[in-house]
Amino acid sequence: MVSSREGHRHWFFIVILLIALNLFDAFFTLRFNELKTATEANPIMDYFLKIDPSLFFLVKFLLVSASAIFLYANRHVKLARHAISGGVILYLLVNMLHIYGFVFLEGRYI
């Protein structure tokens, strides 16, 4: 059984991973948008991206970070742990698609 302290540390690093993956997603989105090779799939974030890329980045970072911190603070609730894990899995898949796009589709622009 994992001690409370180890469990705390475990979820802390998972949340940091979630935030980092979000930042990578934002970077890739901005890069693909700059190259005009892709668009933002989330209509809310697309709205901010059309206003200003810096605003997009700030809003994306703040929304995901605040949500991740809220979930971390409630990690004793099973649903919060599932949401954190699901977010990491989702961002891993999204970033894998971005990397695939960079390497195989848009490698000439790197």
pLDDT, tens only, 52-89:
999 999 999 999 999 999 999 999 999 999 999 999 99
The total of structural domains in the chain comes to 1
Let me know the angle formed at the C-alpha of 72 by 94 and 21, rounded to the nearest 5 degrees: 20
* Average pLDDT rounded to a whole number, residues 81-108: 88
Look at residue 1 in the predicted model and tell me its pLDDT: 47
11 within 8 A of 80, measured Cβ to Cβ: no
Q: In which domain, by residue range, is 73 found?
A: 4-109
Structure tokens at 70: 């809220």
Q: 34 or 91: whose pLDDT is higher?
A: 91
The backbone torsions φ and ψ at residue 45, rounded to the nearest 5 degrees and listed phi first, read -70, -30
Distance CA 93, CA 74 (A): 25
pLDDT, tens only, 4-38:
665 678 999 999 999 999 999 999 999 888 888 88
